[in-house]
Amino acid sequence: MGKITGFLEIDRNERKYAPVAERLKHYREFVIPLSEKDTRDQAARCMNCGIPYCHGTGSVAPGTPGCPVNNQIPDFNDLVYQGNWEEASRNLHSTNNFPEFTGRICPAPCEASCTLNIDDNPVTIKTIECAIVDRAWDNGWLKPEVAPAKTGKKVAIVGSGPAGLAAAQQLARAGHDVHVYEKFAKAGGLLRYGIPDFKMEKHIIDRRVAQMEAEGVTFHYGVHIGGTLQGAIDPRELLNQYDAVALTGGAEAGRDLPIPGRDLDGIHFAMDFLPQQNRRVSSEPLGDVKDILAGGKHVVVIGGGDTGSDCIGTSLRQGAKSVTQLEIMPSPPEHENKGVTWPNWPLKMRTSSSQAEGAIREYAVLTQKFSGVDGKVQKLHCVKVDDKFKPIAGTEFELEAQLVLLAMGFVHPVHEGMLKTLGVDLDQRGNVRANMADYKTSLPNVFSAGDMRRGQSLVVWAIREGRLCARAIDQYLMGTTTLPR
Ligand SMILES: Cc1cc2nc3c(=O)[nH]c(=O)nc-3n(C[C@H](O)[C@H](O)[C@H](O)COP(=O)(O)OP(=O)(O)OC[C@H]3O[C@@H](n4cnc5c(N)ncnc54)[C@H](O)[C@@H]3O)c2cc1C
Ligand code: SF4
């Protein structure tokens, strides 16, 4: 374990952020890494608990405590404390293909379930994870791992988000000929086009893609499977050409707000707004769409999750006059009751870095209609709601807005096109039906993982599912598998 008395002697010390006024001037990452000494001190706090909930129970059921990819946290904490960073990196990569993604943007359920969190003082696991992998890249320890022998089997993966990337990397390392099809110009899915650069810069994806290309993965960009535009491919062709197909296309159907005035100009889905800014940052053409910009406007973001926060940070960087975030749920408690919630993920007040940059947050608010002038949105007409989401008479109010961003989540994958053409079975929620044992869909050699299978979720779950789906495909193709879980 780390230092036996470390947790008694050393306080939690988390990475700091650059000041708000400074970071709002650009789209780069603004988290300031700890020094090597401070990171090792933090690792020294780990108690190597007998039952370390932080690294997860191994169960794949949603809502189980700890790390969904089962990072072996006490082990890498000890290696960091000892200064054996290279071995820590080997250990970390044995469970997680892309710790540089999770080390930046994971909500860290591991920290919620750390024993030291019983008094609000968990080990800085995410910070340590990020430090290990960043150091590994800086020192050139992360080389392509080319399979020693090829199997002669071909696998197609549709979608290059974290689920597709993890599946592709695992399958290539098992010796299969892997082809990733992506409708956009670059790989990464929501990592590239949803999550803003200030949370994760995109060169971080590029170097992984280069590693995967060197491992034999072929990426086909601008190819919409089941789409109608030029270059699209009928998904049934993939079934003829490949021994197995993995559907990892995410959950892209956004939840709408069909209330009066919804058709006014200036009301957009978050995922029409955020990708534009990411493309601007990387000088990728926006295509045939109108610019959606927040500069000089009063902005209202409807929805309180990660996507809403990303809209806030992006709007403020674009120079919005004000940003208000509306959430229909009541304001959560400042502190959870640890006796009831630990080691599970608790409901409590959290303030994201973007919210801390200057958003006004309103809870228990329902938007009843939009109104505007000359076809352009000018106002939201809102009301406060009770704990059953029923409007409370007399609490009506109006908010000025020239830009409204709908960030209320995603209902399920897009059905039109690929899924309908394939005729794959869907579950009750409209996601692709496949279980978490073999990831098989209703079609014989078609598998599915990530948000397309489980519905909107987290990057760490997408990585987990991509890895397990690869294992299931390897087992299906070869009759046996040595790929880790
Ligand atoms: C704005 C935003 C912010 C988020 N922030 C966080 C965060 O901070 N932390 C976190 O853990 N999670 C976050 N999430 C959730 C996380 O990004 C997703 O859970 C995760 O990316 C899902 O991975 P995936 O590989 O299943 O799908 P996706 O990342 O959605 O990737 C799917 C890919 O498939 C492609 N595709 C789809 N259909 C086709 C087709 N027919 N042909 C070809 N290509 C196709 C898409 O273009 C896309 O590139 C956020 C989500 C959003 C929208
Ligand atoms: S992937 Fe997420 S849950 Fe797992 S160790 Fe890293 S921060 Fe924690």
- Whether the CB of 212 sits within 6 Å of ligand 1: no
**Residue range 101-119, pLDDT digits in tens:** 999 999 999 999 999 999 8
Cβ neighbours of residue 390 closer than 8 Å, sequence gap 6 or more: none
Taking the centre of ligand 2 as the mean of its atom positions, its distance from the CA of residue 84, in whole angstroms, is 20
Cβ neighbours of residue 116 closer than 8 Å, sequence gap 6 or more: 7, 12, 45, 47, 122, 123
Segment 117-125 mean pLDDT: 94
Taking the centre of ligand 1 as the mean of its atom positions, its distance from the CA of residue 310, in whole angstroms, is 14
- Whether the CB of 235 sits within 6 Å of ligand 1: no
- Whether the CB of 67 sits within 6 Å of ligand 2: yes
Q: What is the pLDDT of residue 58?
A: 65
> What's CA 137's distance to the chain center, in Å?
21
**Residue range 260-304, pLDDT digits in tens:** 999 999 999 999 999 999 999 999 999 899 999 999 999 999 998
- Whether the CB of 69 sits within 6 Å of ligand 2: yes
**Residue range 434-466, pLDDT digits in tens:** 999 999 999 999 999 999 999 999 999 999 999
pLDDT level of residue 231 (50, 70, 90 thresholds):
confident
142 vs 51, higher pLDDT:
142
Asked whether residue 62 carries a pLDDT value surpassing 80, the answer given is no
Q: Domains, the chain, ranges and CATH?
A: 6-138 (1.10.1060.10), 154-252+411-478 (3.50.50.60), 256-408 (3.50.50.60)
- Whether the CB of 453 sits within 6 Å of ligand 1: no
Taking the centre of ligand 1 as the mean of its atom positions, its distance from the CA of residue 472, in whole angstroms, is 21
Q: How far is CA 212 from CA 180, 208, 384, in A?
A: 11, 6, 50
Ligand with an atom nearest the CA of residue 273? 1
Integer Cα distance of 67 and 306 in angstroms: 19
Integer Cα distance of 73 and 68 in angstroms: 12
Q: Which atom of ligand 1 is nearest to the CA of 450?
A: 26
Do residues 348 and 336 touch, judged by C-beta distance below 8 A?
yes
Integer Cα distance of 275 and 254 in angstroms: 14
Query: What tokens does 58 get?
Result: 């191994």
Asked whether residue 59 carries a pLDDT value surpassing 70, the answer given is no
- Whether the CB of 106 sits within 6 Å of ligand 2: yes
- Whether the CB of 418 sits within 6 Å of ligand 1: yes
Q: What is the pLDDT of residue 210?
A: 98
Helices (H) and strands (E) in the chain, counts: 18, 17
Asked whether residue 387 carries a pLDDT value surpassing 70, the answer given is yes
Mean pLDDT (the chain) is 96
**pTM (global) more than 0.85:** yes
Taking the centre of ligand 2 as the mean of its atom positions, its distance from the CA of residue 164, in whole angstroms, is 19
Query: What tokens does 36 get?
Result: 């090597």
Asked whether residue 143 carries a pLDDT value surpassing 90, the answer given is yes
pLDDT level of residue 245 (50, 70, 90 thresholds):
very high
Integer Cα distance of 145 and 217 in angstroms: 12
Integer Cα distance of 262 and 404 in angstroms: 10
Q: What is the pLDDT of residue 64?
A: 80
Which residue out of 126, 179, 195 has the highest number of ligand 1 atoms within 8 Å of its CB and is therefore the one to mutate?
195
Q: What is the pLDDT of residue 265?
A: 98
Q: Which atom of ligand 2 is nearest to the CA of 70?
A: 4
Ligand with an atom nearest the CA of residue 112? 2
On the 0-12 / 13-18 / 19+ scale of CB atoms within 10 A, 28 is exposed
Taking the centre of ligand 2 as the mean of its atom positions, its distance from the CA of residue 110, in whole angstroms, is 6
Asked whether residue 468 carries a pLDDT value surpassing 80, the answer given is yes
Integer Cα distance of 370 and 367 in angstroms: 8
- Whether the CB of 184 sits within 6 Å of ligand 1: yes
Asked whether residue 57 carries a pLDDT value surpassing 80, the answer given is no
pLDDT level of residue 308 (50, 70, 90 thresholds):
very high
Q: Cα angle vertex 44, ends 43, 49, to 5°?
A: 90
**Residue range 420-437, pLDDT digits in tens:** 999 999 999 999 999 999
Integer Cα distance of 265 and 261 in angstroms: 9
The per-residue DSSP string of 263-318 comes to: TSBTEEEHHHHHHHHHHHHTT----S------TTSEEEEE--SHHHHHHHHHHHHH
Taking the centre of ligand 1 as the mean of its atom positions, its distance from the CA of residue 298, in whole angstroms, is 28
Ligand with an atom nearest the CA of residue 97? 2
Integer Cα distance of 276 and 194 in angstroms: 9
Cβ neighbours of residue 212 closer than 8 Å, sequence gap 6 or more: 144, 165, 168, 169, 172, 219
Share of the chain above pLDDT 70, in %: 99
Segment 357-379 mean pLDDT: 97
Asked whether residue 61 carries a pLDDT value surpassing 90, the answer given is no
- Whether the CB of 226 sits within 6 Å of ligand 1: yes
Q: What is the pLDDT of residue 229?
A: 83
Taking the centre of ligand 2 as the mean of its atom positions, its distance from the CA of residue 69, in whole angstroms, is 7
Ligand with an atom nearest the CA of residue 231? 1
- Whether the CB of 458 sits within 6 Å of ligand 1: yes
Ligand with an atom nearest the CA of residue 198? 1
Sign of CA dihedral 205, 312, 159, 485: positive
pLDDT level of residue 485 (50, 70, 90 thresholds):
confident
Share of the chain above pLDDT 90, in %: 92
| Residue 225: strand, helix, or coil | strand
Query: What tokens does 484 get?
Result: 């880790």
Segment 4-21 mean pLDDT: 95
Ligand with an atom nearest the CA of residue 410? 1
Integer Cα distance of 328 and 362 in angstroms: 9
Query: What tokens does 450 get?
Result: 């990530």
Segment 316-331 mean pLDDT: 97
